[in-house]
Structure 1
Amino acid sequence: MTGEIAAAMDLPAGTEVVVRRRHLYNHETGKPEEIGASYILTSIGGGTYLEEPTVVPKALLLCIEELSGKRYATARDHWLSRLPTGEEASALELPTGAPVMQVIHVARAEDGTVLEVSESVWPADRIVVIDEYPVEPEPSEPDTPSEV
């Protein structure tokens, strides 16, 4: 587990976790589209079917809710455009200098417990981000400071 993922999980780097890796391909072209991994605390997924290299019986979040006895309450996605690692460039069949988009998704229970951290990487030229939100008629002070 990288330091970035460990920090997202509120754990020291090198802590043992259950990791479910995936490589997704375009069904029509067979080209690689996404590489990713989900990181789950061993207290939730250790010794369970989540450690098996097989498809899980239902959506991963439902498996984690069932095993942890907790429900997903909040999620935070951190998006980053960057150059790929050599391994990522090879897996995604990218030409030299082609950027990727990375998202680190942190899902928490109502009590703030991290239930799952997932990381996905896509070729940047295949990503579209759509951001839709209400526009308030009157300006107001923000609840929290900007992270910019």
Structure 2
Amino acid sequence: MAVRFLSHWGYFAILFAAFWEGEAVLITAGTLCGAGLLDWRLTILAAAIGGSAGDQIYFYAAHDRAARTIKKSKRLSKWYPKISKFVLRHSTVAVLLSRFAAGLRITIPLVCATAGMPARKYSILNLVSGFAWASFWVAVTYQIGARLPVS
């Protein structure tokens, strides 16, 4: 029953779950790939698209809301110029590595959007980062699943 569910709905579940939460989903999915229950290529594709879509929404939502929030907050107004300069100066590296650093997955898209990073540049980097992130976690956890006894 579970195998049948995975073969029909597993990739959709990964896509949807990666939209919200990443590593826990990919650890489980990668292990299932190693056990032969999911295809690693489709798993990476679903996770990369789901994770990237979530971050893309954060990026576009920030255009409207984050700028107003920064202006209203004295603390954010003080620190934001320094943070935005740093992120824009190192924008490529910041976006590519944001998925791999705790707490930055949501922060970096918001700062990039409000600091004026072009949407096209962010979108391309976001998708590349999504595939690198999904590939890393699936490759690492695949090894765990390959060692599990599956009957």
TM-score interval, normalised by the smaller of the two chains: under 0.3
**Structure number with higher relative contact order (C-alpha < 8 Å, ≥ 6 residues apart):** 2
- Higher helix proportion: 2
The normalised TM-score by structure 1 is 0.22
- Higher strand proportion: 1
The normalised TM-score by structure 2 is 0.22
